[in-house]
Structure 1
Amino acid sequence: MARLVLRGVKKRFKTTDVLHGIDLEIGDREFVVFVGPSGCGKSTLLRLIAGLDPITEGEFFLNEQRMNDVAPSKRGIAMVFQSYALYPHMDVYENMAFGARLMGLDKTEVEARIAEASRMLRLDELLKRKPRELSGGQRQRVAIGRALVRKPEVFLLDEPLSNLDAALRSDVRLEIARLHRSIGGTMIYVTHDQVEAMTLADRIVVMNLGRIEQVGSPRELYETPANTFVATFIGSPKMALIDVIRQGDRVGIADGGSIGLSNMPDAGDRLKIGLRPDALTISPDMDSEGFSASVVYTEYLGDNAYAYARLADGTLISVRTPPTSSMNRMRPCGCRSSSQRHISFPPKMVGD
């Protein structure tokens, strides 16, 4: 069992405040991902949990035991860093055994734990190799295995895939997901890549400027963002935010067009709406409900394609289009809310 509670946690480096009062609870066997832009404080928060840096203010509890003054080696927490941090003069077996031996385990127990971790991570054929003889993905699996051998209550992973190429990132991401299902431990994973966050997490903690903006499941963050930061950070391409003016049960767009909203909020005349790419479609019918925009460029991604268009006020929006559609030249076109298809994620009102 591993339940973590952070209450009012702050971190200050000299005169610079990095974390501004973090309140968070993480349940047993949960996979939680910290996500946010560079410099938002997610890695700093992970280091406070690991005990590598002291907490300036606030408290951290693990299984109801206060951890503020407990040494990192006594917390029952293992951390996998962005850099592999393997000993270059040791082979894979010795790298995995080093931490277990420091715990005072006997030889038989160390061998049993390495055999189990090696089997889970498919490292059996690599145990006699040195780190220089391994690929990036293999090195990262060894780093994960070294943590696994310690059998910690909590796994901390600090951007473990950032040094890998796209193909290896996908492979190792699957390994981590499979590992969590196998061992059932509590995992906290830090990344700036929202694809990793959306595919791995039970819950995502969205951070910005040293504060938590929202905590929720991937679906909750995508469908019901708490504010404009979360709305534009989660989703790729990102949600477009458009300033509009209330016109009864409709809102007016910059080009003179308008959109009807089924749930008009009780707010002022000047509003902001969020439009996701999959809530829009390119329509040849200029008289259908919607608004006009000029296509700037398109992206073909194989299974998907996106058109990027500008409104009259310069706002850039993105529209998901069928990959079979042909848009051979940049020209003004109708960028309209679909009246023929169901919109599963309709435009939502978001506010700070």
Structure 2
Amino acid sequence: MGLDEVASKPHEALAAHLADKMDAVNTLIRARMASRHAPRIPEVTAHLVEAGGKRLRPLLTLASADMCGYSGDYDVHLAATVEFIHTATLLHDDVVDESAQRRGRPTANLLYDNKSSVLVGDYLFARAFQLMVETGSLRVLDILANASATIAEGEVLQLSAARDLRTDESIYLQVVRGKTAALFSAATEVGGVIAGAPEDQVQALFDYGDALGVAFQIVDDLLDYEGDAKATGKNVGDDFRERKLTLPVIKAVAAASDEERTFWKRCIEKGDQRDGDLEHALSLLHTHGALDQTRADAMAWVAKARVSLETLPAHPVRDMLGGLADYVVARIN
């Protein structure tokens, strides 16, 4: 891979810059996935952890610590912690959503069973807390424990909000800040904390992670209606078929006529979907400019992420994090 190609994908530039640290994270993850008494645990976790993915969240922890001048080893512990929390939530999410695929592969709950997925997810949460404690930092423990609780709250809120046409943008943002942005912001914040960074820099790292996480989820929701299935790994309209009330639909419902609202109620709330409904839904999204408005929202959150970086010290990693924010929305431009 040439330098230009690496530069065009900032997460790969970050991974290259932090390659030694990421190798240590992956080694630690494999060691802590092991279980002497329950071989099902490493089987299930390896299926998901080894499935690929960008390891974006642990990279954010390592990058934040590196940018703030950290030279110890506990950033590796925290990066592994963040990945364990993320993996645990994926295992639980796939059970809740009754998903059959993730990253183009069968989900663990499909290959094994729901009980195994839930219990192994619990095991990973426990491992995550062991790793947190080993850092000896109560503040780190507080940040990641709060993030774990916030993630669970966001998922529960989504259960009630996802198919309710009364869900507005403020509730949507609350869900996104819970299920997605909370771990992004915790990942960046703990990197600064373990490095002993000044409070204004720790806050800036939190703000960057929060804004990046919100933008990341908005882009994901937008791509469900206008993305390339080969690039996203999802079919266009999956969220519609699963009756998820995401930001583009929330915007279209807010502008809907009585007749259009009846359509959304039938498809989303009642689950009565018929041939041609997805095409009609896409037509309504375009009619009310919902997709363009959603795109503008994602761009605004990326701008917030970039502003947050201005408080942080000049550093090659800071430039990479700025590029990463731009890369999140590059897929929708």
From the CA coordinates, give the structure whose radius of gyration is larger.
1
Q: TM-score, structure 2 length as denominator?
A: 0.30
